[in-house]
């Protein structure tokens, strides 16, 4: 499966490895994740997010992953633009770029990718390009015990962009 953005597979620094934090993304990712179809309405998307208490859904078209949609996309790209949620489709507002990593990538590599693209979640793929999970900044903060790493990542990811005026 081809994605618009390439994932990152990087070596872990000797400092983190020395502390015994040689963890892989597969150890902390959520494997039972939800997706949404590109032709579903924005109302259906919001209901699914509410039902599963999530703010991020990978978007599929047939069996292919074609993008991602967030709760922020619903607000900024749909409601703020006056789109009718019942009649607008996911494919009309989703982000077509999928930022992803591989399940055997290091946690540090995933964090670098999040920082580089200023995203809080990554789709996790196997080497055949199939999505197998999702890893979030929250997973890194809670499940790794690497508070400094997750704190630094949050700082980089949260760097504000210039407002559109």
75-118 pLDDT, tens per residue? 999 999 999 999 999 999 999 999 999 999 999 999 999 999 99
- pLDDT at site 163: 59
CA distance 132 to 67: 15
- What is the chain's Cα-based Rg? 16
In the DSSP assignment, the letter for residue 24 is B
Residue 34, helix vs strand vs coil: coil
Asked if residue 165 is part of any domain, the answer here is: no
Buried/exposed code over 68-91 (b: 16+ C-beta within 10 A; e: otherwise):
bbbeebbeebbbeeebeeeebbbb
Domain count, the chain: 1
Question: From start to end of 53-155, where are the E strands?
Answer: 56-61, 64-70, 100-102, 121-125, 131-136
Asked if residue 93 is part of any domain, the answer here is: yes
Asked if residue 8 is part of any domain, the answer here is: no
Does position 137 have pLDDT exceeding 70, yes or no? yes
Q: Is the pTM of this model over 0.95?
A: no
Which domain does 101 fall in, by range?
14-157
Asked if residue 164 is part of any domain, the answer here is: no
């Amino acid at each position: 499966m081809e994605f618009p953005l390439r994932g990152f597979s990087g070596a872990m620094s000797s400092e983190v490895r020395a502390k015994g934090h040689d963890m892989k993304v597969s150890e902390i990712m959520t494997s039972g994740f939800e997706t949404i179809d590109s032709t579903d309405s924005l109302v259906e998307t919001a209901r699914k997010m509410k039902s599963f208490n999530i703010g991020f859904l990978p978007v599929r078209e047939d069996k292919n992953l074609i993008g991602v949609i967030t709760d922020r996309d619903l607000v900024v790209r749909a409601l703020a633009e006056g789109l009718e949620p019942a009649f607008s489709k996911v494919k009309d507002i989703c982000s077509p770029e999928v930022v992803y990593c591989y399940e055997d990538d290091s946690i540090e590599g995933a964090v670098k990718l999040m920082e580089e693209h200023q995203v809080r979640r990554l789709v996790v793929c196997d080497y055949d390009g199939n999505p197998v999970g999702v890893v979030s900044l929250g997973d890194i903060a809670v499940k790794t015990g690497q508070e400094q790493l997750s704190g630094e990542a949050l700082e980089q990811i949260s760097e504000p962009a210039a407002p559109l005026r």
